[in-house]
Amino acid sequence: MARQVLHVDCDCFYAAVEMRDKPEYKDVPIAIGGARDRRGVISTCNYPARKYGVRSAMASSQALKLCPNLIMLPGNMAKYSEVSSQVMAILQQYALAFEPVSVDEAFLELAPTSNAELIAQQIRQQIFSELGITVSVGIAPNKFLAKVASDWRKPNGQFAIAPGEVHDFVGRLPVKLISGVGPKSAEKLKDLGIHTCQDVRDVSAQGLRSQMGKFGEILIQRAQGIDDRVVRVRDRRKSISMEHTFVSDLTDEEEINQILDDMWPKFLARVERAGLQLLQLAPFVKVKFSDFQVTTLADHQRSVTMDDYRELLAQAMLRADKAVRLIGIGGRLQELNNSQMSLF
């Protein structure tokens, strides 16, 4: 019997929590973000705002151009984390195996014999009545297709791909919907004349392997609708980080700081999406010098701020009198102590 995997994803998650708490936001365009520390980038927006073309990761200034009456809210991560935990607690009850993926999405493995459509309806109802937000659910024989399916009837919908429908459904899918195909690989595939999964099926497997490396194998599998990844709770994440390799090696601290300025909002977005909070993280940096010597420096006494990174990077760079090839910034997860908790 085929597996039954559910992918559950909250609809416009941060915005949904704000609409729940202030019903006057319900039918007007709102966006979360634009706060000082995000340098004016939007985290998400509600569906009325999406009608104007406003999207996640868009600069607030551009969003306001598209939608001048957009209401910008600073957002409240502590509140979203709490709702996220409540959503996950509900989902867990329905699953044989359960795997949270980010702050607002999770995979569930159901028994092959259970009524997945009905369970999806129950999940949606329970989350709406207890938490006041909506979720969308995808049902399919594997993770890849369940995730695609949860997007199909968004918002507040569910969509099932039955085993017998997989072949035709997947054939029509654009390759960029396969997880791991980012803008760069999509571009590369386009150059090879590959747009859909059917196109992947039509080219020679050997050619694809030689063009795309190891990932070629995954593409071939996904294009057949195959994905054997199991649903399981992943080991708790211990750290989160981001690196930048310079086009040419740098010696100037000013220039390096400028790169840090650019990395910072992206790092924050990554932390948020992982469902983490800055206060939980102790900063570390990595510097790779022009001769590939690597040094790392951590500070467990502080929580993560951009100034801490500036200082740590400056210290790390003093360890060698060489040009810098790469910098990395990251946070190691640490348990919150009581005084930090009281800040929420």
Q: Which residues bind ligand TTP (CB under 6 A)?
A: 9-14, 43-44, 56-57, 103-105, 154-155, 269, 272-273
Evaluate whether 142 touches 108 at the Cβ level (below 8 Å).
no
Q: Which two tokens stand for residue 31?
A: 């966006």
**Minimum gap (Å) between residue 135 Cβ and Mg ion:** 8
CA distances from 154 to 11, 51, 94, 149, 177 (A): 7, 14, 21, 9, 16
In whole angstroms, what separates CA 279 from the centre of its chain? 20
Residue 103 binding target from ligand TTP, Mg ion, none, CB below 5 to 8 Å by type: ligand TTP
Indicate the residue among 150 and 277 with the shorter CB distance to Mg ion. 150
Contact residues for Mg ion (CB under 5 A)? 9-10, 13, 104
Q: Where are the beta strands (DSSP E) in the chain?
A: 4-10, 30-33, 42-45, 71-73, 97-102, 105-110, 135-140, 158-160, 239-250, 281-289, 294-298, 324-333
**3-state class (DSSP) for residue 200:** helix
Residue 44 binding target from ligand TTP, Mg ion, none, CB below 5 to 8 Å by type: ligand TTP
Indicate the residue among 25 and 264 with the shorter CB distance to Mg ion. 25
- Give residue 29's region: left, alpha or beta (phi > 0; psi -120 to 50): beta
Q: What is the dihedral of CA 278, 73, 63, 41, to 10 degrees?
A: -10
Indicate the residue among 62 and 211 with the shorter CB distance to ligand TTP. 62
**Minimum gap (Å) between residue 190 Cβ and ligand TTP:** 23
Indicate the residue among 14 and 284 with the shorter CB distance to ligand TTP. 14
How far apart are alpha carbons 102 and 192 in whole angstroms?
Answer: 33
**Can 105 be counted among the known catalytic residues?**
yes
Residue 59 binding target from ligand TTP, Mg ion, none, CB below 5 to 8 Å by type: none
| Catalytic pick among 18, 99, 105, 272 | 105
Residue 154 binding target from Mg ion, ligand TTP, none, CB below 5 to 8 Å by type: ligand TTP
Indicate the residue among 78 and 294 with the shorter CB distance to ligand TTP. 78
Long-range contacts made by residues 21-26, C-beta under 8 angstroms, separation at least 24? 25/71
Residue 99 binding target from Mg ion, ligand TTP, none, CB below 5 to 8 Å by type: none
Please give the positions annotated as active site: 105
